[in-house]
Amino acid sequence: MTAYLLTNHLLNFMAPAALVALLLIVCLRLFFGFFQSKRPFVESWWVQAAIIFVVNLATLTAGLLLFGRDGKMATYAALVLGAALCQWLLLRGWKA
1-31 pLDDT tens trace: 899 999 999 999 999 999 999 999 988 878 7
Q: Residue 43, by phi and psi: left (phi above 0), alpha (psi -120 to 50) or beta? A: alpha
Residue (of 51, 48, 69, 47) closest to 60 by Cα position: 69
Q: Is the dihedral of CA 77, 82, 88, 94 positive or negative?
A: positive
| 49-81 residue pLDDT tens | 999 999 999 999 999 999 998 889 999 999 999
User: Is pLDDT at 44 greater than 90 in this prediction?
Assistant: no
